[in-house]
Amino acid sequence: MKMNIGGFLTRRAQLSPESEALVLGDTRLTYDQMNRRCNRFVHAMEKLGIGHGDRVAILSLNEPEYFDLYFGLGKIGAIMVPLNHRLAGPEIEYIINDCQARVLIFTGDFVPVVDAVRENIACEHLIGIMEDPPAYAKSYKSLTKEAAEQEPEIVCGDEDTLTILYTSGTTGQPKGAELTHNSYFGTSVTLKATFGEIGDVLLMPLPLFHIGALAPVPMCVHFGMKMVFQQAFEPNNFLELLEREKITWFGSVPQILMLLRQIPGYEKYDWRSVKMALVYAAPVPVTLIKAYAEAGIEVRQLYGLTECTGPATVIDGKNAIKKAGSCGLPFFHNEMRLVDMKGNDVAPGELGEVLIGGTNLMKRYWNRADATAETIKDGWLYTGDIGKMDADGFLYIMDRKKDLIISGGENIYPAEIEDILLGHLKIADVGVIGFPDEKWGESIKAVVALKPDENLTEAGLLDWCQGKIGRFKIPKKVVFTDQIPRTPTGKILKRVLREQFN
């Protein structure tokens, strides 16, 4: 018997047909209803000739159809390619052509983008999730409405690719990480084994093109949980859902936690059902962890990557403050090493590149044997992140290897400085980059976005830094901007900052 993630939904629908599976906008589905939808989609795809190994791209906000694709394509061995809907037309065009998608499914919000790229992509079928799709597109509703609901034959799984998720492309063209049925199964098992009893209602505000939103989905179906998704993050609605649906755990990124705290009376909403707030995709400022702890809300930072289908390490609640700034210990079925430039393990307290092992690693990068060979070596995933371990084995991510600033022979990690600067009451956001310096090789530049109606000078900020951080880490220059460019999941686009301000 092969491990097939689409088969998870089949089995859950047999065991718990009336249990609520999904809440998304006005849609509420039981597991039986969700599985029937999925099967109709499968048979519609088969009529179009879509089968094992074919790529099907989706350009959409979080919609119920996403789950049709994920589990339905999984049942027949086809591959879902979620598209980052915040990308520009040429970037979307690149991904579709790179993975050679045979089908593009899209919602009405993205008709202008599809109009712009459709002549330049090789998709055989364009399918619109809307009442009146453009003349060049088939209707998703019409294709699936009359399709059969019986179970398709499941003949794939294990190391077959289930999804291709393209990395954010912060340093150039994105790469497609091939994640298999076994990868997602490994994530489901290690999440459950690590977290234990976290209740049975997930709230997810993140977009499904991101592994942080997609990785928990198989676990929820595997263990019969209810999934509550936002179409897109909206803070007031998030708080209303948290209270109304009795959420027991939710996923987040640091920016979401920041925005929630800006909602007047956010702490007055009923958080009592929440057992865990899981935060990932970017380092969580220590000041933010402490602020939520003071309000009685436990924040657990997770460190993970698309290339390991999500989880790598996580910190437990009792250590979240005592070891604030750490992203914890490896998940139950993951391993971790830190190595120097020569590949030798480093001692506790020393800096090294983070390596991750486990059953949830990607199979490879799509059509990128060179990048795959650089990233996966001897069963270890070379993350490109620089970190250190303390004597208890807890991991602290310092920065990206490529963002390291070397000034006068000193290794300086921007994330450490950013965390300090975010403690300034007038600063809303900040990104730290290096800039060329004839004397030191590189010096430090802070790009600062202030809170509304606040004023701050370069001299004032540099004076504030005195005594809070080593003198060699204090920025030499400060520039002010309206907004720090970030990826949809909160990572600072250092490449963009360097282009704008160097």
pLDDT tens string 350-378: 989 999 999 999 999 999 999 999 999 99
**31-82 pLDDT, tens per residue?**
999 999 999 999 999 999 999 999 999 999 999 999 999 999 999 999 999 9
What separation in angstroms does the CA of 383 have from each of 2, 312, 367?
29, 10, 19
pLDDT at 59: 98
What separation in angstroms does the CA of 256 have from each of 180, 230, 336, 347, 481?
29, 13, 28, 35, 21
pLDDT at 35: 98
pTM: 0.84
Q: For 38, list phi and psi in degrees, rounded to 5.
A: -60, -45
What separation in angstroms does the CA of 421 have from each of 321, 434, 467?
19, 16, 13
Give the start-end residues of each E strand in 286-426: 299-305, 310-314, 329-330, 334-339, 352-358, 364-365, 376-377, 380-389, 395-400, 405-407, 410-412
Cα gap 144→276, rounded to integer Å:
37
Q: Are 357 and 363 in contact (CB under 8 A)?
A: no
Which run of H or of E encompasses 179?
A: strand 176-180
Nearest to 247 by CA among 277, 221, 217, 222: 277
Question: Tokens representing 24?
Answer: 């998304």
pLDDT at 70: 98
Cα gap 422→32, rounded to integer Å:
47
Please list the ranges in the chain whose pLDDT falls under 70. Answer: 168-172, 282-283, 408-411, 488-489
Helix, coil or strand: residue 134: coil
Q: Hey, what domains does the chain have and what are their CATH numbers?
A: 5-14+23-157 (3.40.50.980), 182-401 (3.40.50.12780), 408-501 (3.30.300.30)
Cα gap 444→429, rounded to integer Å:
17
Q: DSSP alpha helices (H): ranges in 196-303?
A: 211-214, 216-222, 235-244, 254-261, 286-294
